[in-house]
Structure 1
């Protein structure tokens, strides 16, 4: 007997990396080996020296094929077994290990938009639907588009054992969100990448594409983000640590903006529940701020914060690395770690 292992990796496409995958057949009981691919076809190597290495780092059941088949998320290495320049996971691992004693938790809200025939699902041919307002968490065929795909994706994530914690329809027709977490920085990032792969793969079966474009429709329509909820054990125990983390994020605001996804300025305009990309702010229950402190966190004087700036197309390995590095270093310096 044998089983199928779908090796998944993140390519070197700029400014936004893409997912790639291919299937390996293994004998029952066989361990997952290193594998390889043609990096010249994925923007990760020149043709004259094209070999890249796949190193398995996260495995889960394959909910599409079923049986003993698995999904295998991989890091990309050069042939000398060092991390490839496109391997952002390796950089996160170093920071996560440095601040592991602070026990960082993340929950990431992944927004995305379905497209079919060149337009968002639910948009009429050659025109626009009714203005946004009733689509968010809506119900009914005139407000919700693509629920069958969303439900299939949710079931797949659950069968795969991913830490998916919810779904909802978003503000624009054909726009949805799923949430992953709470989990540590490496865990939440690995699982978000696999959940993205499952989203694309399942949408294939409905002849629909899913995009993480941060501004899929220009004009008076919400963009798509990846709001990132974050806490450390100190933040979960006291409000001083919450404020320290918010202040620290402001001190490195532009470094974070640069790492939060391509074309972020198209989404963070100061409209549609965003703060301007060029300004930093934080506030309680304020969805127009860069960072929101939930109202119950202020009441209870402990909890978490929501960084509302990351784009839907962000690399979660980069986002979590920046947040852990900035906030945990500040908490350490303040004696709040």
Structure 2
């Protein structure tokens, strides 16, 4: 038997953006534990905005498990929060009730800022660094500093070793701003891995004395870019059948549901979706081929392939809950019938 360090990880009850929480228990197993072997575990919900002190019990239900490459015999256990009965989802449990479909694929582009001493990494004590331009995909100390690349490389290695489907990294438009990309098949799987990648990044930066700022517009009303979490998505029908008629009906459904999407695409999005800095206005809906300023960017490959493939919703922001984002996208897609398009294609 081997003693395994199980890190139970969950989302707390803070609003409008939940925080990641984690605590460790030690259990004996013959081999790396399966999800079915992991027990429920209680915690004090009164300390996480999920219960009152006079009735503080909440329960963690494991829903996904990954190797923890930073620990010997470690496991990262993604959990849902349940009521004391261990069966009823807690009101803050956004994962338990979302729409899910393994044939709907999501690729999230998570942007964020490194922060140190209350300002973006690389910013001077007063004022601003040189204007945006050379930082995006930049190379060299002048553009990326002396520690950011080490952190993102370490984070990439941790995610890959944990089995998270990490697909890439790059420096972003603003100084101190970076991005990583996560791909998953199904709302829950893709969102689980984004949350786990966020957790690994936050834990990693503890040893560097650097914070992660996920706010979508940390520098306020300035010419510095905000941070998004663009959501690339496709269904089996979009990949295999598609068609211009279906695409236009889908865009009409997204326009009709604009307010519902904005409601779950992350707090303070009005600060980011201004119509500037490659964003569409929060009050409008638009789409365009290769248009980074549209609500939905349509890849050239999508049009060339008879309107088949994936689309990119550029409105979700860096603080958004990927469970809610993916679920809302899937909900809107489900409103568009596929039978007529499929018969026409046949």
1:262 alignment partner, one of 260, 264, 267: 267
1:25-40 aligned at under 5 Å gives the runs 25-29=26-30, 31-40=37-46
What is aligned with 2:224? Answer: 221
Q: Which moved more, 1:295-304 or 1:249-258?
A: 295-304
Q: CA deviation at 1:49?
A: 0.8
2:106 and 2:234 in contact (8 A); partners too: yes
What is aligned with 1:179? Answer: 181
1:149-168 aligned at under 5 Å gives the runs 149-168=151-170
Q: CA deviation at 1:233?
A: 1.1
Unaligned runs of 5+ in 2: none
Instruction: Provide runs of 4+ in structure 1 moved above 4 Å.
Output: 332-337
2:212 alignment partner, one of 187, 204, 210: 210
Over 3 Å counting, the alpha-carbon distance change for 1:334 and 1:21 in structure 2 is farther
| Alignment coverage as a number of residue pairs | 330
Over 3 Å counting, the alpha-carbon distance change for 1:336 and 1:312 in structure 2 is farther
Over 3 Å counting, the alpha-carbon distance change for 1:111 and 1:331 in structure 2 is farther
2:10 and 2:21 in contact (8 A); partners too: yes
2:67 alignment partner, one of 58, 61, 64: 61
Distance between the aligned counterparts of 2:252 and 2:319, measured in 1? 25
Distance between the aligned counterparts of 2:76 and 2:83, measured in 1? 22
Secondary structure in 2 matching 1:91:
coil
Distance between the aligned counterparts of 1:250 and 1:170, measured in 2? 29
1:72-128 alpha-carbon deviations (Å, 9 max, x no partner): 000000012200000010111xx21xx56xx21110000011000111001011121
Distance between the aligned counterparts of 2:285 and 2:320, measured in 1? 19
Unaligned runs of 5+ in 1: none
2:12 and 2:20 in contact (8 A); partners too: yes
1:261 and 1:314 in contact (8 A); partners too: yes
What is aligned with 2:138? Answer: 138
Q: CA deviation at 1:291?
A: 0.6
2:184 and 2:193 in contact (8 A); partners too: no
Distance between the aligned counterparts of 2:113 and 2:342, measured in 1? 40
Q: CA deviation at 1:11?
A: 0.5
Secondary structure in 1 matching 2:320:
coil
Distance between the aligned counterparts of 1:135 and 1:182, measured in 2? 28
Q: CA deviation at 1:205?
A: 1.0
1:91 equivalent to 2:123? Answer no
What is aligned with 1:70? Answer: 75
Structure 1 length-normalised TM: 0.95
Structure 2 length-normalised TM: 0.92
What is aligned with 1:46? Answer: 52
1:144-176 alpha-carbon deviations (Å, 9 max, x no partner): 131111110000000001001011100001100
Distance between the aligned counterparts of 1:77 and 1:149, measured in 2? 34
Distance between the aligned counterparts of 1:309 and 1:71, measured in 2? 30
Distance between the aligned counterparts of 1:6 and 1:180, measured in 2? 21
2:277 alignment partner, one of 272, 293, 303: 272
1:182-213 alpha-carbon deviations (Å, 9 max, x no partner): 42211100000000000000011111011111
Q: Which moved more, 1:290-299 or 1:4-13?
A: 290-299
